[in-house]
Structure 1
Amino acid sequence: MGKAKPAKHTAAEIKAKVHAATTNMGGGKAGLQDRKGGAVGHAKYKCPICMTAAPDLKSMQLHWENKHPKLPFNESACENLHAKVGGVTTAGVAVQGSKKKKQSDA
């Protein structure tokens, strides 16, 4: 057999294509909104003490028990970021910051 490309796609190639199709790598305004994460995106609650973001109250409670064990947990003190920005969430499927592209001299 020669050095021809195989007829079937490899698992790594398919995984790379799925990753490229479902991850927002973006620059620009849409990418900026995604990269902000907690302010407008996936995380819903913000810890009033250390400003750590969490996606739900259960995760925030676990954070609180691990990081602030001497203080009682008060879920009303945790800021709901989605309500603050009008329920807007990120437009992208997944969030990943932009990567610098290598420029060729050609």
Structure 2
Amino acid sequence: MAKAKQAHHTAKELAAKAKAALQNAGGGKAGLADRKGGQAGHAKYKCHICGQQAPDLKTMQIHHDAKHPKLPWEPEKCTNMHDVVGVTTQGVAVRGSTKKK
């Protein structure tokens, strides 16, 4: 009985697999808005002073400390874009497995 040969994947193949698994691609016209991050973009919070957007409150606080050091940090004044516009992405354009059943 012969033993099966082990598959040796190239670096190019492995990089392509990782990219396909992590990149938000596909979905065609239906997934276009999703790939761009939805109506609000990928950021959740918006600075009430300058309008800069950030994905979370910790990042917004870092922005505030760097750009507005003389003003007090008030997280409750930051606009939650998910409440205003809605959820940013719905997952239409996330590429799934290419393996056929």
TM tier, smaller:
0.5 to 0.7
**Whole-angstrom distance in 2 between the partners of 1:76 and 1:34:** 29
Give how far 1:93 is off. Answer: 4.7
Q: Does 1:72 find its partner at 2:72?
A: yes
Q: 1:30 — aligned with what?
A: 31
Q: 1:16 — aligned with what?
A: 16
Unpaired runs of 5+ in structure 1? Answer: 1-6, 95-106
Going by fraction, where is helix more abundant, 1 or 2? 1
Q: Does 1:89 find its partner at 2:88?
A: yes
Q: What's the TM-score, normalizing by structure 1? A: 0.64
The sequence identity of aligned pairs, in percent, is 53
Q: What's the TM-score, normalizing by structure 2? A: 0.66
**Whole-angstrom distance in 1 between the partners of 2:21 and 2:69:** 42
Q: Aligned letter for 2:8?
A: K
Equivalent pair of 1:45/1:60 in contact (CA under 8 Å): yes
Unpaired runs of 5+ in structure 2? Answer: 1-6, 96-101
Aligned residues: 86
RMSD: 2.5
